[in-house]
Amino acid sequence: SCQARILEIESLSVRYGGIYALRGVSLSIAAGECITLVGANGAGKTTLLRAISKLVPSKGIIRFAGQSIAGRSPHELVRLGIAHCPEGRQVLARQTVRDNLLLGAYCRRDEAQIAQDLEEQLKRFPRLRERQHQLAGTLSGGEQQMLAIARALMSRPRLLLLDEPSLGLAPNLVREIFAILAQLRQQGMTMLLVEQNAHLALQLGDRGYVLEAGQMTLSGQASDLLNDPRVQQAYLG
């Protein structure tokens, strides 16, 4: 493809003690692509996102926008343009919704733009506007997930990493979250999405990868993966 690669991963391995969580993983993402990562519990999906964010040490190559991220710290990566929306949301329960959102912009100094982006996120997530002065810990699970996504967007990312955004949510909220992800995709946001809900996630994605026991076993167009009997049998029930 002639599209610029925003993320390139080659031969990535992560070990916890003696056990490999990832072994020889390669993946690439072009600017504007939405990539779906599918895999069973414990396959290493969260570990891959954490390696990209430098939250766990890894071996191998990770390039972001053409540059190796070796030696970078997690907060430098946020400044470079990688935002990580972690599993389990991890919003600051004792701070207001609004302060959580502003924390997403902690690496920025452009105050006027930050105010504009805050307004944009409150427009995108009307439930958050209504609750902006409420403590984040009082939000429902789905609302906390929205807050986690909005907070990640406040860093103006060039790559958004999403770990199980639909986990534990009621079906109507899952639909609401996926509608927002579809809108982000249409606006050109580059995304790497980890999901148990393989069906919805592959419907959203341009391409997908399948991770099994720490290794990439399949990749292709998301529509082809949806129709692949191996994927259907293992992940689509």
Main-chain phi, psi angles of 24, to 5 degrees: 60, 40
What is the C-alpha to C-alpha distance for residues 194 and 35, in angstroms, rounded to an integer? 9
Per rule CB under 6 A, is residue 233 in the interface with ligand ATP?
Answer: no
- The residue whose two tokens read 């519990």 is 41
Per rule CB under 6 A, is residue 202 in the interface with ligand ATP?
Answer: no
Among 29, 35, 45, 131, binds ligand ATP (CB under 6 A): 45
Among 29, 39, 160, 178, binds ligand ATP (CB under 6 A): 39
Spatial strand order in the sheet of 159-163: 82-85, 159-163, 191-194, 34-39, 207-212, 215-221
Per rule CB under 6 A, is residue 54 in the interface with ligand ATP?
Answer: no
What is the C-alpha to C-alpha distance for residues 108 and 156, in angstroms, rounded to an integer? 9
Per rule CB under 6 A, is residue 43 in the interface with ligand ATP?
Answer: yes
Closest CA to 163 of 101, 53, 84, 74: 84
Closer by beta carbon to ligand ATP, 107 or else 213: 213
Closer by beta carbon to ligand ATP, 21 or else 177: 21
Spatial strand order in the sheet of 5-16: 19-30, 5-16, 59-64, 67-68
Closer by beta carbon to ligand ATP, 22 or else 154: 22
Per rule CB under 6 A, is residue 42 in the interface with ligand ATP?
Answer: yes
Among 1, 2, 41, 112, binds ligand ATP (CB under 6 A): 41
Per rule CB under 6 A, is residue 16 in the interface with ligand ATP?
Answer: yes
Closer by beta carbon to ligand ATP, 26 or else 223: 26
CA-based max dimension of the chain: 51
Q: Which residues bind ligand ATP (CB under 6 A)?
A: 16, 21, 39, 41-47
